[in-house]
Amino acid sequence: MKHVVGFSGGVDSQACLWWARQRFGDDNVIAMNSDVGGHEHPITTEFIKQFSETVFPVVQVTPLVRDLGTRGTRPGKTRDRRQEFNEDDVLSFDRLAYIKQRFPSRKAQFCTEHLKLAPQRRWCDENLRENDIEFERYAGVRCDESNKRADTPDRTWDDYFNCWINYPIRCWTKQECFSVLKKAGEEVNPLYRMGFGRVGCAPCVNASKGDVREWSARFPEMIDKVRDWEESVGKTFFMPLVPGMEINWIDDVVKWSKTAHGGKQPMLPLIEVEADAGMCSSKYGLCE
Ligand code: SF4
């Protein structure tokens, strides 16, 4: 029996992996990361590489066009656009948006399925199931993350992977994840120390106002990337973030992210953020 842990480069999945290794032993655990079609920040990519080389090996999977599955094969523009590529071409984040003619959003979060889950399922099928190796999956989901996750069970059957999925750290707080890893002597993704709440995609389509502000102040090249994608796809990257927000192109979102509550008054975070760039401003109390 193998125990497969999804590893995103964030602290929750890292804590979940630590738990699985203590419980089942390193030989029985597989850590797996999907590179999300190249949409991770280079700091996260480098962190995962270092982690894999020095702490625990991480299996890296890359999404391919065929990870779109049977969806997108119905007649219409999506199928036409899919046919512009080979099935074994890399499915980058912007290519996914181009084929789907829109970016994913909180309500249509197809990025998670096609860029993270499907490539991992493909790997499990090819490397475990086809060799008759049983496996269960583990995810670093916590109940206090959101109302939606408040009732996360201990384990449940996962039809998508056709195996059990377990949530061993569901009752942990974010701070507990940091504490456990610190005690274990494991480094965490440096982006936390810079104040980011989410470290998966750069930026995530669900990024908070504060995260957008941090990306634009510290890594404006991530905003440039999104601006280029918006131009080639012809759609906005973010859904309207506040009621009544009509123009939602990336530069407007960045402008809005620098305003105080209500989106009208300017505040000074850009200057503050730029001034303390490099200092620990994490909201998780990482600064000692
Ligand atoms: S981190 Fe955000 S953008 Fe990336 S796959 Fe998940 S939901 Fe999509």
What would the pLDDT profile of 71-107 be if each residue is shown by its tens digit?
666 777 778 889 999 999 999 999 999 999 999 988 8
Per cent of the chain over pLDDT 90 is 67
Cα–Cα dist 195/191, whole Å: 7
Q: 101: domain CATH number?
A: 3.40.50.620
Contacts of 39 (CB under 8 A, 6+ apart): 92, 93, 115, 201, 202
DSSP string, 71-106: TT-STTHHHHHHTTS-TTSB--HHHHHHHHTS---S
Residue 207: CB within 6 Å of ligand 1? no
What is the structure's pLDDT at 244? Answer: 63
Q: What's the farthest any 2 CA atoms get from each other in the chain?
A: 61
Residue nearest to atom 4 of ligand 1 (CA): 201
Residue 260: inside a domain: yes
| Of the candidate ranges 180-184, 218-222, 244-248, the one whose mean pLDDT is the lowest | 244-248
Residue 197: inside a domain: no
Residue 214: inside a domain: yes
Residue 208: CB within 6 Å of ligand 1? no
Backbone phi, then psi, for 252, in 5-degree steps?
-70, -40
Does 163 share its domain with 243? no
Per cent of the chain over pLDDT 70 is 86
Residue 105: CB within 6 Å of ligand 1? no
Residue 56: inside a domain: yes
Q: Which is the closest atom of ligand 1 to the Cα of 203?
A: 3
Does 156 share its domain with 66? yes
State the pTM of this model.
Answer: 0.86
pLDDT band at 136 (very low <50, low <70, confident <90, very high): very high
Question: What's the structural domain count of the chain?
Answer: 2
| Pocket residue to mutate for ligand 1, from 206, 222, 237, most atoms within 8 A of Cβ | 206
Residue 181: inside a domain: yes
Does 119 share its domain with 237? no
Does 244 share its domain with 179? no
Does 211 share its domain with 186? no
Query: 43 versus 145: which is more confidently predicted?
Result: 43
| Of the candidate ranges 64-68, 160-164, 197-201, the one whose mean pLDDT is the lowest | 197-201
Does 171 share its domain with 239? no
Q: Identify the domain boundary among 156, 190, 224.
A: 190
Residue nearest to atom 8 of ligand 1 (CA): 111
Residue 285: inside a domain: no
Identify the domain containing residue 60 by its residue range.
2-190
- Contact between 57 and 31 (Cβ < 8 Å): yes
What is the structure's pLDDT at 231? Answer: 94
The rounded Å distance from CA 204 to ligand 1 centre is 5
Does 38 share its domain with 109? yes
| Of the candidate ranges 55-69, 98-112, 236-250, 266-280, the one whose mean pLDDT is the lowest | 266-280
Residue 282: inside a domain: no
Cα–Cα dist 177/172, whole Å: 7
- Contact between 178 and 286 (Cβ < 8 Å): yes
pLDDT band at 286 (very low <50, low <70, confident <90, very high): very low
Does 61 share its domain with 153? yes
Does 182 share its domain with 217? no
Residue nearest to atom 3 of ligand 1 (CA): 204
Cα–Cα dist 235/66, whole Å: 23
| Of the candidate ranges 15-29, 77-91, 165-179, 220-234, the one whose mean pLDDT is the lowest | 77-91
pLDDT band at 282 (very low <50, low <70, confident <90, very high): very low
Does 182 share its domain with 58? yes
Does 149 share its domain with 254? no
Residues 219-239 have a mean pLDDT of: 94
Q: Which is the closest atom of ligand 1 to the Cα of 104?
A: 8
Cα–Cα dist 135/127, whole Å: 11
What is the structure's pLDDT at 245? Answer: 64
Cα–Cα dist 120/34, whole Å: 7
Q: Which is the closest atom of ligand 1 to the Cα of 115?
A: 5
- Contact between 58 and 33 (Cβ < 8 Å): yes
Residue 109: CB within 6 Å of ligand 1? yes
Residue nearest to atom 5 of ligand 1 (CA): 112
Does 214 share its domain with 180? no
Q: Which is the closest atom of ligand 1 to the Cα of 198?
A: 1
Q: Which is the closest atom of ligand 1 to the Cα of 39?
A: 4
Residue 67: inside a domain: yes
Residue 104: CB within 6 Å of ligand 1? yes
pLDDT at 176 over 90: yes
Residues 201-215 have a mean pLDDT of: 88
Average pLDDT, the chain: 87
Residue 41: CB within 6 Å of ligand 1? no
The rounded Å distance from CA 270 to ligand 1 centre is 25
| Of the candidate ranges 56-60, 111-115, 209-213, 238-242, the one whose mean pLDDT is the lowest | 238-242
What is the structure's pLDDT at 18? Answer: 98
Query: 1 versus 283: which is more confidently predicted?
Result: 1
Packing angle of the helix pair 11-24, 174-183 (nearest 10 deg): 60
pLDDT at 288 over 90: no
- Contact between 7 and 32 (Cβ < 8 Å): yes
Q: Which two tokens stand for residue 215?
A: 């990306």
Q: Identify the domain boundary among 157, 190, 223.
A: 190
pLDDT band at 10 (very low <50, low <70, confident <90, very high): very high
Residue 36: CB within 6 Å of ligand 1? yes
pLDDT in tens, 242-272: 666 666 899 999 998 888 765 555 443 433 3
Cα–Cα dist 236/184, whole Å: 42
